[in-house]
Amino acid sequence: MDPQQRIQELTQRLHHLNNQYYQHDISEVPDQEFDQMLAELQQLEKAHPDLALANSPTQRVGGTITKQFAQAQHRYPMLSLGNTYSEDDLREFDERVQRGLEGAPYTYVCEQKFDGVAMSLGYENGELHQGVTRGDGTRGDVVTANVRTIRTLPLHLRPGAPPEVEVRGEVFMPNSVFNDLNQEREQNGEALLANPRNAASGTLKLQDSAVVAARRLRFYAYSVLTPGRHFASHSESLEAAAAWGLPVSPTWQRCQNLQEVLDYIHEWAQKRFTLPVNTDGIVIKVDNLRQQDQLGLTAKSPRWAIAYKYPTAAARTELLRIEYNVGRTGAVTPVAHLTPVPLAGTIVKRASVHNANQIAALDLRLGDFVFVEKGGEIIPKITGVDLAARPAGAVPIRYPQDCPACGTPLVRPEGEAHYRCPNERACPPQLKARLEHYVSRKALNIDGLGAETVARFFDLGLVATPADIYDLPQRRAELIVLERLGEKSIDNLIAGIEKSKTVPFERVLFGLGIRYVGETVAQKLAQHYRTMAAIMAASAEELAATPEVGGVIADSLALWSQQPENQELVRRLQAAGVAMEVSGEPPRAVSDRLAGLTFVLSGVFENYSREQLQELIQQHGGKITGSISKKLSYLVAGDNMGPAKREKATTLKVPIISETELLALLPI
């Protein structure tokens, strides 16, 4: 078949399957068949790059590196809405609308006010061509490559859409994704993200769209703008947007009068907590578009719309006790146990206290009556103490000095908020958590080894490290006598263990649970070094020069690699057949033009990403390092380079060159 015809055929088919899956929860084909079609399209586009389409389904996985975000002017200004927390203010708004329309009949549309990032999407002839953030309402950042990774967003519209369409909507991170991301960050010893809205905003500004794709952002459309008048009402435009394949939340409602608006607000006061995304209010709009024009705008906001915001969800309850949990990295996290209290649609029994600093700042004492809020947070948190209700003689809570699990004295590394248990080799919760992480879906994904089974095997002494898992097939006789573990379960477990040997190296590296080495860092390390042996042989300075790897990660990884028990773990895993290197041929050296030279790259570059420049240097025999010393050959300076590096290079008389000067050293 003609490559162009096949590319178009696969593109149309995959777009249809994506729409069915993400908009209608319909899986028309098995995942394997979908993946095979996507892989075929990727191969065709690689062989015929001139035939690849800008909105190809392959863009869903990302891969574009954006060195800096251009800005674009909004064709239609993105105005703010007036806010109110008062139903009386809504009545006044309704009276102003009535006066402005001179008594003509009117209706409203009520929509959820999603707590995400406002986005303007431009479609031309049905094809997505630009995504721009709200910015200052007049101009915003162009984040098209990142927007294309949002799987619920159509890259091309169904037939019927006008030639030019601007879609306004909200990009958000689902609560479940946010929870998973924060759990992973906590396990890796990284700072937790504050809330889903901030997480979505930060994700959209990431330079690597492949990382954006992994964050699983979503989008809801709430407005459609076109040159000329294509619709009589806002509700009609929402129905059209859904018909074109755009994701429109089904929670909107047409209301005949203010009383129906208030009924909608009351209905969703608790119901909104069942949604996959945070909301903080209701947007009320006059439905008829000509009436919107008649009412007009103020300098900052439309006169035909207003946002009613719910008060922050809060409750008052008694603090019963503090439990201290030990995580995979040894971090000891306090969790408050409370007298159960209704809050934001759920019964809250526990709340986050974060760390020792917060306990001290709140002056928490057992028996205190505390204020708990959800607000923009997923997990309830204690925000204050009702001092008037404090019982006489209440004793302040003191953070434990020893690990609650193994009794080892806790340490608090400089600059960190968490106390940690340093007993990595024998602290049971740490060992169990590392095993659970190793077998988890994003790591080795071993069927038959869930958290409960891992904990059971650990308690029975069957496994203590990931390497012990690969001895289980030889211990079948011991497994068969265990309760609730039949022959079929054991066969599935053994098959899952065998299958894990085919998992790619980057996921194995992530599965080892090295502090600060998350999915993205593991991928970058695997791409850069290709083998576990090379990673473990690298110095902290060399590791810090790897894309996405800074000094803190490099120090942690270098320390992990030096420990004999970890060297033995890697040896046993490799002997068991677990992948410890990237498959395929490594990049071949192009020349030795830069042999004997070392480079530090800093800043943002115009023609290449930092990763691409590092690869070029290595292809021509040069070495990359992460710090500046007298032995350094060149500091390659891009835009926004840190002043400290420039100052140190100048002091040590290290030559500072530009991207252009670096390229001049190469035979390209």
Q: Where are the alpha helices (DSSP H) in 188-277?
A: 196-204, 209-214, 234-243, 258-271
- Check residue 111 and give its pLDDT: 97
Per-residue pLDDT for 202 more than 90?
no
| 12 assigned to some structural domain | yes
Confidence of residue 188 (pLDDT cuts 50, 70, 90): low
Are 179 and 286 contained in the same domain? yes
CA angle 557, 562, 563 (to 5 degrees): 105
| 71 assigned to some structural domain | no
**Residue 531: is it exposed, middle or buried by C-beta count within 10 angstroms (0-12/13-18/19+)?**
middle
Please give the residue that has the higher pLDDT: either 67 or 289: 289
- Check residue 138 and give its pLDDT: 83
Confidence of residue 61 (pLDDT cuts 50, 70, 90): low
- Check residue 220 and give its pLDDT: 96
Angle between helices 564-576 and 551-562 (to 10 degrees): 80
Is 634:591 a contact under the CB 8 Å cutoff?
Answer: no
Closest CA to 170 of 216, 225, 113: 113
Phi, psi of 50 (to 5 degrees): -70, -15
Closest CA to 433 of 405, 396, 470, 408: 405
- Check residue 313 and give its pLDDT: 74
| 407 assigned to some structural domain | no
Is 293:311 a contact under the CB 8 Å cutoff?
Answer: no
Is 372:314 a contact under the CB 8 Å cutoff?
Answer: yes
Find the CATH number of the domain harbouring 323: 2.40.50.140
Phi, psi of 430 (to 5 degrees): -65, -45
**Mean pLDDT of the 261-286 span:** 91
Are 37 and 105 contained in the same domain? no
Are 432 and 469 contained in the same domain? yes
Confidence of residue 6 (pLDDT cuts 50, 70, 90): confident
Number of domains in the chain: 6
Per-residue pLDDT for 191 more than 70?
no
Distances, alpha carbon 109 to alpha carbons 233, 244, 253, 261, 272, in Å: 10, 20, 6, 8, 17
Confidence of residue 54 (pLDDT cuts 50, 70, 90): confident
- Check residue 447 and give its pLDDT: 85
- Check residue 282 and give its pLDDT: 95
Q: Which residue, of 475, 502, 529, is where some domain finishes?
A: 502
Return the CA Rg of the chain: 28
Per-residue pLDDT for 170 more than 80?
yes
| 589 assigned to some structural domain | no
| 74 assigned to some structural domain | no
Q: Which residue, of 358, 389, 420, is where some domain finishes?
A: 389
Is 17:29 a contact under the CB 8 Å cutoff?
Answer: yes
Are 180 and 223 contained in the same domain? yes
Are 625 and 652 contained in the same domain? yes
Phi, psi of 488 (to 5 degrees): -65, -40
What does 134-188 look like in DSSP terms, one character per residue? -TTSSEEEB-HHHHTT-TTS-SBPPTT--SEEEEEEEEE--HHHHHHHHHHHHHT
Element (H, E) at 315: strand 314-326
Per-residue pLDDT for 550 more than 80?
no
Tens-place pLDDT, residues 369-416: 999 987 555 678 898 999 999 988 888 898 899 999 999 999 988 777
**Mean pLDDT of the 473-482 span:** 89
pTM: 0.61
**Mean pLDDT of the 64-75 span:** 75
- Check residue 560 and give its pLDDT: 95
Are 558 and 446 contained in the same domain? no
- Check residue 475 and give its pLDDT: 92
Span between the terminal Cα atoms of the chain, in Å? 36
Find the CATH number of the domain harbouring 469: 1.10.150.20
Q: Which residue, of 262, 285, 309, is where some domain finishes?
A: 309
Phi, psi of 320 (to 5 degrees): -90, -45
Pick left, alpha or beta for residue 299 (phi over 0 → left; psi -120 to 50 → alpha; otherwise beta): alpha
Is 373:313 a contact under the CB 8 Å cutoff?
Answer: yes
- Check residue 531 and give its pLDDT: 94
Query: Residue 509 corresponds to which amino acid?
Result: L
Are 524 and 568 contained in the same domain? yes
Q: Which of 30-39, 233-242, 271-280 is the least confident region?
A: 30-39
Are 166 and 258 contained in the same domain? yes
- Check residue 25 and give its pLDDT: 58
Confidence of residue 429 (pLDDT cuts 50, 70, 90): very high
| 409 assigned to some structural domain | no
- Mean pLDDT of the chain, nearest integer: 87
Structural domain containing residue 608? 598-664
**Mean pLDDT of the 282-301 span:** 90
| 255 assigned to some structural domain | yes
Are 511 and 571 contained in the same domain? yes
Are 511 and 491 contained in the same domain? no
Are 569 and 625 contained in the same domain? no
Tens-place pLDDT, residues 132-153: 998 878 888 899 989 999 988 9
Tokens of 560: 């992990």
Angle between helices 428-439 and 451-459 (to 10 degrees): 140
Tens-place pLDDT, residues 328-371: 888 898 999 999 988 876 788 988 887 888 888 899 999 999 99
**Mean pLDDT of the 222-243 span:** 92
- Check residue 293 and give its pLDDT: 92
- Check residue 63 and give its pLDDT: 55
- Check residue 261 and give its pLDDT: 96
- Check residue 512 and give its pLDDT: 95
Find the CATH number of the domain harbouring 17: 1.10.287.610
| 94 assigned to some structural domain | yes
| Residues in Cβ contact with 296 at an 8 Å cutoff, skipping those fewer than 6 apart | 302, 303, 304
Residues assigned a catalytic role: 113
Q: Which of 11-15, 148-152, 206-210, 595-599 is the least confident region?
A: 206-210
**Residue 483: is it exposed, middle or buried by C-beta count within 10 angstroms (0-12/13-18/19+)?**
exposed
**Mean pLDDT of the 591-600 span:** 88
Are 178 and 203 contained in the same domain? yes
Looking at the chain, the whole-number percentage of residues with pLDDT higher than 70 is: 94
Within 13 A of 360's CA, how many CA atoms are on the CB side? 7
- Check residue 508 and give its pLDDT: 96
- Check residue 515 and give its pLDDT: 87
**Mean pLDDT of the 290-313 span:** 87
What does 605-627 look like in DSSP terms, one character per residue? -SSS-HHHHHHHHHHTT-EE-SS
Give the Cα separation of 369 and 347 in Å (integer): 17
